[in-house]
Chains A and B, each alone.
Chain A
Amino acid sequence: AQKVTQAQTEISVVEKEDVTLDCVYETRDTTYYLFWYKQPPSGELVFLIRRNSFDEQNEISGRYSWNFQKSTSSFNFTITASQVVDSAVYFCALSETGNTPLVFGKGTRLSVIA
């Protein structure tokens, strides 16, 4: 069975601080995809990244970066120089390849204080 664990329920940081959101996953599949989504108070899911299990390269996109480590089954997300607009709930998710649905973690609520 697939499982995604986001141990941090809530995180609060002061603007301009760096923050890392943890994600640990479980799957028996050798091929799978990992995702991060942002959910602002308005509710929609904003896609941030999709990474397949064969690509362990870290990725950077502006202030966002992701660290994928298969050895520890982790896919952590770091926001550098956080801003108030980063305040949201962030979900890590996992899916097998093909037409399977995403399994979501419980989410981490990030509050960035000015």
Chain B
Amino acid sequence: GAVVSQHPSRVICKSGTSVKIECRSLDFQATTMFWYRQFPKQSLMLMATSNEGSKATYEQGVEKDKFLINHASLTLSTLTVTSAHPEDSSFYICSARAASYNSPLHFGNGTRLTVT
């Protein structure tokens, strides 16, 4: 079946550095990818919608200059947390959907980011 690969699964970085998270669709072309963030013991909150070849659409309250999203190909979207701070520590999950209408949404396994 369709698989979405997210890498890395865990990352620890120092405050002020940048971290890149990759989300790949392994056996289908994903025209749309969604990035979610989940703080401990909370729900998944949509951060942005990433469409291949165009700029991402960010949800209200999400800083686009801090969370850079690139969807340069039909199988890869990246989320870069720039100048990370401890408050950015969270669980980030991507999801991808194929181009056909009403195709199911597939989730990556998530990335646990810890900023020290």
Q: List 22 A-B contacts (CB under 8 A).
A: A43-B112, A44-B107, A44-B110, A45-B44, A45-B93, A91-B44, A95-B105, A97-B101, A98-B102, A99-B32, A99-B97, A101-B95, A102-B44, A102-B46, A102-B95, A103-B46, A104-B43, A104-B45, A105-B43, A106-B42, A106-B43, A107-B43
- A50 and B102: CB pair below 8 A? no
Pick from B43, B91, B104, B110: contact of A50, CB below 8 A.
Answer: B104
B32 to chain A minimum Cβ distance, whole angstroms, is: 5
A39 to chain B minimum Cβ distance, whole angstroms, is: 9
Tell me whether chain A's interface is mostly helix, strand or loop, or mixed: loop
What number of B residues sit within 8 Å (CB to CB) of A?
A: 22
Expressed in whole angstroms, the Cα–Cα distance for A97 and B91 within the complex equals 26
**B residues touching A (Cβ–Cβ < 8 Å)?**
31-32, 34, 41-46, 49, 91, 93, 95, 97, 101-102, 104-105, 107, 109-110, 112
Interface residues on A, range: 10 to 19
- B91 and A101: CB pair below 8 A? no
Expressed in whole angstroms, the Cα–Cα distance for A36 and B112 within the complex equals 22
Q: Chain A residue with minimal CB distance to B97?
A: A99
Expressed in whole angstroms, the Cα–Cα distance for A102 and B91 within the complex equals 17
Expressed in whole angstroms, the Cα–Cα distance for A20 and B109 within the complex equals 26
The 3 closest A-B pairs by CB, nearest first: A44-B109, A101-B34, A106-B43
Expressed in whole angstroms, the Cα–Cα distance for A97 and B103 within the complex equals 9
> Given A44-B107, A45-B93, A106-B42, A101–B49 Cβ distance below 8 Å?
yes
Expressed in whole angstroms, the Cα–Cα distance for A50 and B102 within the complex equals 11
A43 to chain B minimum Cβ distance, whole angstroms, is: 5
Expressed in whole angstroms, the Cα–Cα distance for A44 and B38 within the complex equals 11
Contact with B along A72-114 (1 / 0, CB 8 A): 0000000000000000000100010111011111110100000
